[in-house]
Each structure stands twice: as structure tokens, then as C-alpha cells.
Chains A and B, each alone.
Chain A
Amino acid sequence: MFSYYLELALRSLKRSPGLTALMVLAIGFGVAASMTTWSVFRAVSGDPIPWKSAQLFVPQIDNWGPNGRSSDGEPPNAMDYADAMALMRDHRAKRQSAMYQISPSVVPAEAGKHPMNVSGHAVYGEFFPMLDVPFKYGSGWSASDDESRALVAVISSKLNQKLFGGAASVGRSVNIEGKDYRVVGVLDDWNPQPRFYDVVNSGGFSVNGDDVFLPFLTAIQADLPNDGNTNCNAVPKESGFVGLQRSECVWIAYMAELDAGAVAAYRDYLDGYARDQQRAGRFAWAPNGRLRDLRAWLDNQHVVPSDTKVSLLVALGLLLVCLVNTVGLLLAKFLRRSSEIGVRRALGAPRAAIYAQFITEAGIVGLAGGVLGLLLTGVGVASVGWVLPKDIAALARLDVSLLLLTLLVAVIATVLAGLYPTFRASRVQPAWQLKSN
């Protein structure tokens, strides 16, 4: 029976090639625009560490008071040195790390090579197990390395390629800002998007991952200045990097790993810490801290650009218009065949048969639109680099799930669009049609 409907549908579509082409084009463009913007949205709104994001938390401490808060009462989105160090010392979470962005120069061992500038972060040893950072060789460093301000480094596989030709370089030394650091680990490919451990500084997305990680206290001791944002509510009293460390300026990112049962206790601890500061006279205001899990934090920091959301909405609007357009055209097309329907019904075809026939026809239009949509989505995803910043454009990918989704959306949307015209077609009165011809 289905093959019969298929034949009927194809014959009907062939009879009005202009109208058919119009519907296929509309569906194709509508679906392609939606899928292209969706691929971008999917890429930027994804969870960078889905298996663990519910256990990762970002604490905030209000060290600026009411005058430093944003209009919605939010405390600063980073920490000053004193608070970050106090939280690290108290060590109340399962794992935690303060971190700041560095941009040291690395001097290759080979004579005659230019020094190069690399970007990275100064972190604590717990950073690596906390974020499940994958290693190619070696591992992170220990808590005692943190304490003793050991000259150790973890480097990316890209930097390992540049410096050591990709060899297992654990134990070799690398010259960073004039000091020799011992390589303890080489990362596997790891450049999570968004760069969730420090979204404040990366703006969320960055094509180039971090190339070097050094122990936090080692970097402070080596006087490696902060390369990320520094926000101050007042100008520091003393100058230099040491002056920054003694100021209320915020420039340190912080992340803690907490099991579900430990969240409330940690929240109490943050509150208690702020209360202690209030008692000590440092804060002249009640605690106003925050503790958000990773997803809430990414949302709070507006990691997904609003342009991306608006684009997706507008593209969905385009798809909607295309569907309304299709409903109108299918309606015209189906009702034009009222007499044919009348004859079929008079010869004994039940309503269900009419339904099946016209839904099949709508489905074929949807499938053709979907195939066109696939091609256009391919073109769209390949050319997002023209219209989006490269850090974001690089994330949009054409994969099997996107292709399937494109076809599925096209077919389902068109069949939905065909429902009302089909309903109208099935209501055609056989007697009336036969009489009037």
C-alpha cells in the first residue's frame, strides 16, 4: 500500500514542479539556517566536563562590600590574594585550587632559537586530579611540591613537541623566565571549551589551550606577574606584583570539588569565613558570598554569547515562517485535488487511506527538503568562520548526530505542517465533488 501512496505522491509532486520546488527550497533553507546556528549554540553551551560538573564549585567572597557590587548585588567574580590563600590553607573541600593566568617566556635549549611567549596558569597540584586532566607522560605534582615551592612544570603536548620533539620529556628541564623547571608531566590533548576553570580571563573560549602549568606558590615566589584581568575597587597602596598581593584587587580564580553531602557545610564555612573577616574589622558588611556549581557559574558569567542565542532564535523564526509557508502551499495543493479525493472516497477508500496518502506526500517533501537542508547545513557550518569570531567558529562541527537531526527535523516539521491540509483533504465530501464535475 505504501508504495502505491509513494507513487501517487511522486506523480502529484511532478504535476506541479514549481510549487514542489518552492516547498523543498523553503524547508531546506529553514532547516539549514536553524541547524547551522544550532551547531554553534550546541558547541558553546555544552558542558565541558559532564561527568563531574555537578561536583565542581566556584566560591565567591564579597571583599568589596556594597559599593563594589554589581547592580544585581553580585560580589566580585574573582578573589584577592588574601582570601584565596586563606581558603587554600583551610583546605575544606575534597580538592581545590586557586589559579591565576601567567604568560612567561620560555627559552628553548637549542642555541640561536628565539625565546617564545607561552600562556598558562599557576595552579595547585590538586588541579589535575580535580579536573580529570589527561596526561600523556608523567603526572601532576604533589602537595609537598606545592609547599616547598618546587621548580616543577606540567607542559602541553604542543609545547612538548616544540621543545623536545614530542619525546617523553618527564625529568628534563625547561627554562621559564630564566629558571630551570623540571617537567613532571606532559598533557594529552586537553583544551576544554569553554575553558571552564578560568572563564573570567578566557572569555570562555580560546582556540589555543594553556601550554604550561606551574605550582601557584612557586610562580608567586618567582614573581611571575598575573597576565589575566585585575579588578580593583581602589588603587593598591603599594606598587609591583607584591603590592597587588597585599591589595583588595581581585585577580585569582578558584575552584573546589565537593561531594553532594558536603555542599551545605562548605557554604557555612564560606559564610563563617566572611563573618570572621567582619569581626576582625576587614569587612564592614554582612557576608554576601556565593557558591555555584560549574553549570550555574558558566550561566552566571554569560559564557554563551547573547549573539549566539539571538541568532538561534532568529533562525528558528525563519524555520517557523518556512513551515507556515509550507502549510499554505500543501493546503492549496491538496485541495486542488478535491475531485480525485472524491472519486477515491466514492470508490470505497476510507478516510485513513486519504490520511496515509497525503501524509506520505508531505513526508516526501520533507525528506527532499531535509536532503537540501543537509547540503546547505554543510555549507553553513563550513562558512561560520566568515561570520563568527574564530574562537567560537572553530567549535562548530558537522557530525553524524547533526546530520541525522537535520533530516529528522525536516521530515517531522513537514509532516506536522501537512497535518492540517491532510485533515482538510480527508473532509472532502465525495458526493459534492462528483456532482460538480
Chain B
Amino acid sequence: MHIQIRPILAALRRHKAGTLLIALQIALTLAIVCNALFIIHQRLANLSAASGVDEANVFVIANMWADLDRSTEQVDAQVRADLLALRQLPAVRNATPASGYPLRGGGWDNFVTMTPEQVKPTTDAAVYTGDEHFLDTLGLKLVAGRNFRPDEVMVMGTQQAITPPTAIVSQALADRLFPDGNALGKSFYAMGTAPSTIVGIVDPLHRQGVDQWSNGYAGQALIWPLRADDERGIYYIVRAKPGQLADAMREAPKALYAQNRLRIIDPVDGIQDYATIRHKVYDRDRGMAILMSVISVVLLAITAAGIVGLTSFWVGQRRKQIGVRRALGARQRDILAYFLTENFLISATGVVLGAVLAVAFNLWTVTRFEMSHMSMAYVGIGVVALLLLGQGAVLAPALRASRVSPVEATRSV
């Protein structure tokens, strides 16, 4: 089929304003949709990031002590008794003391250096503390080395700085510190004067926070064998037996209060399962993804409707010319091809301009709002989507145009 571009261009020149407006609309839509798509994809990727935790069966109790006057020894005795009580519950598989947990939404992290004198840190790691039950309670996968031994677990009082001689690190941290592999048995310093030797490696293990600043340190975490007997409070991480999460979450606080009443477990968010923890920490990301999706859908719908509206108008305006062409021998599909090609030319102009705008907008948000660089794939997807949208939108009016009868040429002159 031979398509004449020149008559189309000639006709478009008579509708300069309308042509430019559609092209501009397509360009702006492309620029916005590309960036929205990029944001949506980024946020969805965050939402599904692996934590390393057996999320279906694990929950966390935020246990605050009601009396601050106790010594570290007294707190430690209470913590041990609590853990024993928790582990004995029929629905519970294991429990560990902790100062934080993956996806908590922020918490303790330390700079890591290879030597004690090093001024500029090698990297940053989330710091977890727990006893020899930590790995099993969270359901972390040990990929190398061994778990902590009970005799390695040390006691850490309020604001006390202790550097245990052993540590288990995440694969990501091991790779960052020792790119050649073989991190096992090697040592590092994490803001202390004494080194910690790596005895085990787990993979994966998410950090506590999901903030943008920590993206560069994704998955980098270390676990120290410590019972954090802070006078203010402690987290108990509990892993229920499969399918018994609800039972375990009901029994656990009762068992703790039976041990000692002088504690505060917030009735609203003192006990959270991992579904809740994940839902909460990604609040912002999920919201942004939803908002961007809604805006993109509305935008595409309006642009499509705009193309339908304006093309319908043009078809109505040119009924006489179409009739003349038909009378002179043009077939229905020639007329159809004419409008499809016309729209393609306008859309192509629009997407070229739009691609430039999309990249410019992204670069601007990078410098202004600390967003990241957009891959060109999003622009590619956007271009294809808008070209298809344009062709789809123009189809109905173009079909109507192709059905204009040659008799129109003789009317109303």
C-alpha cells in the first residue's frame, strides 16, 4: 500500500495549531508517564525486597521495662527468664532477644573499617544483636561458617559499648569488605578498638531501615552475639511453629506478664507480625506507587480522549474532501491509512519531543530531589505505549471517515 506523506503534510499545515497541540500533549504525557513508570517500578521493587526473615511465622514484641532502677544484672536475669518462658510455649519454635529487627524502619548502624586507625570508613552496616537462637528465630539462611555458641553471647547494658570478638555478617557485607571472597575467619572493626572475626555468613539479611540514604549499603548487616539488656526495654523476636502464628501471638504476652507485671507492651503496636511490619515500613513507597499509577491512568485516558475528540472534529470538517477523494477512486482503506498515518506523524513528533522532556525532567529531579537516574528502557516503553495509544485512539474516527460515501462530494456545494 502506497501512502502519500506529502498531501498529509500539506493538510496538517492548514491545522497548525491543532497539530501542535496534540503533539505537545503527547510529549507532556510521555514525559510524565515515563517518570511515573520509573517511580512505580522502583517503589514496587522496594516493596518486594527480601528480608531474609521467615516472615510468615515471625513476630516481634516491643517490651518496655516499667522500672528504670534495675541493674544490668537484674535486667539480664529477667530477659533470660522471659526467653525461657517464651521458648516453652507450645506454639513457639524459638525466640531471641534483640535491639532491632529487619525492616524496623531505622535503628542502629555502625561504620565499618578494616583497621582501627582508618579515618574514612570502608562502608556502613546495620548492627543486629541476639543470642545463639537469633539465626533460627529469624529463619536466616547460613551459607558459610557456623552459628554463635552459647558461651560467646555477652551482656550489653544501657549505652554500653562492647565489641564481641565474633560476628556473623550478611553476604553483601562480606562481599563489600572482602571482594576476593573468603571472608570467613577475617576481621573487621565496627567503631570499636577491638576487631570482630567473621565466624558465619548469612544470605540475605535486610537492613533495619529503608531510607534512601542507605540504598548504597543495601543488605549490609552484621550480627553480634549480645543480649541487649537496656534498662529502657528490649525486643523479643519470636518464631511460631508453622501455622500457629496467631496462637503464639496470643500466648506470648500472657507468658511475659506472668513472669513479671512491671513491663509495658503497647496494646496497639506492642506486638507486630511481619506482614504488619513490612506493610508499615513501605507505607510511603506503596502510596507513591499507587498515586503515580492513578495519575498515569488518568493522563493516558485524557490524552486518548483528546485525540479522539480532535480527530473526530477534523473528520467532520473534511467530509467533503473525503467524498471527493472517494469519488476519484480512493478506496476505504486509503482513507483509513490517511488518518492513521496523519496521527502517526503527529505522535512521532510528540514522542521525540517527549523523550527529551522525560530525560530532562528526570535529570532535574535527580539534582533537586535526590532521585536516581532513569534507564532509557522506560522512555522506550513510553514511546511505544504512546504511539499505540495514538493509533488506537484515532481508529474509531478514522473508520468513520473511511465510511464517508463518495456521494458527499456532490452535496451542499
Contact = CB atoms under 8 A, between A and B. Distances in A.
A105 B295 contact: no
Contact of B159 (A107, A225, A327): A225
B231 A225 contact: yes
B310 A310 contact: no
A235 interface: yes
Interface string B6-41: 000000000001100110110011011001100100
A99 interface: no
Given A306-B369, A327-B21, A332-B310, 20 more contacts: A18-B309, A29-B302, A67-B120, A103-B64, A117-B64, A177-B68, A178-B68, A239-B161, A244-B159, A306-B370, A321-B32, A321-B303, A324-B24, A324-B25, A328-B306, A328-B310, A329-B310, A387-B291, A390-B283, A424-B17
Interface size grouping (class) on chain B: 35 or more
A150 to B, nearest CB: 20
Contacts of A382: none
Interface stretch (A257-265, A271-279, A289-297, A311-319): A311-319
B8 to A, nearest CB: 18
Interface in A265-311: 305-307, 309-311
Interface string B189-209: 001100000000000000000
Contacts of B298: 29, 33, 318
B84 interface: no
A424 B14 CA distance: 13
A420 interface: yes
B317 interface: yes
A321 B158 contact: no
Contacts of A224: 68
A-B complex: 9 closest residue pairs judged by Cβ atoms = A387-B287, A239-B160, A332-B313, A328-B21, A306-B369, A325-B306, A115-B66, A235-B161, A317-B32
A388 interface: yes
Interface residues of A, number: 63
Contacts of B317: 336
A129 interface: no
B152 interface: no
Contact of A309 (B65, B284, B369): B369
Nearest to A307: B288
B247 interface: no
B321 interface: no
13 contacts: A235-B161, A239-B159, A239-B161, A243-B160, A310-B371, A314-B32, A317-B28, A321-B302, A329-B306, A386-B290, A387-B290, A388-B287, A424-B17
A333 B159 CA distance: 73
Nearest to B32: A317
Contacts of A232: 191
Contacts of A318: 32, 295, 298-299
Q: Interface of chain A, helix or strand or loop or mixed?
A: helix
B377 interface: no
Interface in B257-288: 262, 264, 266, 283-284, 286-288
A195 B334 CA distance: 67
A223 interface: yes
Contacts of A116: 264
A129 to B, nearest CB: 30
Contacts of A311: 288, 291
Nearest to B284: A389
Interface in A17-64: 18-19, 22, 25-26, 29-30, 33, 37
Contacts of A178: 67-69
Interface string A223-240: 111010010101110011
Interface of B: 17-18, 21-22, 24-25, 28-29, 31-32, 35-36, 39, 64-69, 119-120, 157-161, 191-192, 231-232, 262, 264, 266, 283-284, 286-288, 290-292, 295, 298-299, 302-303, 305-306, 309-310, 313-314, 316-317, 365, 369-371
Nearest to A102: B232
Contacts of B18: 328, 331-332
B25 A321 contact: yes
A357 B369 CA distance: 45
Contacts of A67: 119-120
A103 B68 CA distance: 11
Contacts of B309: 18-19, 22, 328-329, 332
A241 interface: yes
Nearest to B306: A325
B68 A389 contact: no
Contacts of B370: 306
A320 B159 contact: no
A114 interface: yes
Contacts of B161: 235-236, 239, 243
Contacts of A387: 286-288, 290-291
A336 B120 CA distance: 71
Contacts of B231: 225
A333 B298 CA distance: 23
A331 B21 contact: yes
A154 interface: no
A314 B313 contact: no
A248 B128 CA distance: 23
B283 A239 contact: no
Contacts of A115: 66, 262, 264
A84 interface: no
Nearest to A29: B298
A314 B290 contact: no
A225 B232 contact: yes
A322 interface: yes
Nearest to B290: A387
B234 to A, nearest CB: 14
Contacts of A37: 291
A117 B68 CA distance: 12
A227 B231 CA distance: 12
A177 B66 CA distance: 7
B278 to A, nearest CB: 14
Nearest to B280: A389
Given A239-B158, A244-B159, A22 B306 contact: yes
Contacts of B158: 225, 239-241
A222 to B, nearest CB: 8
B211 to A, nearest CB: 10
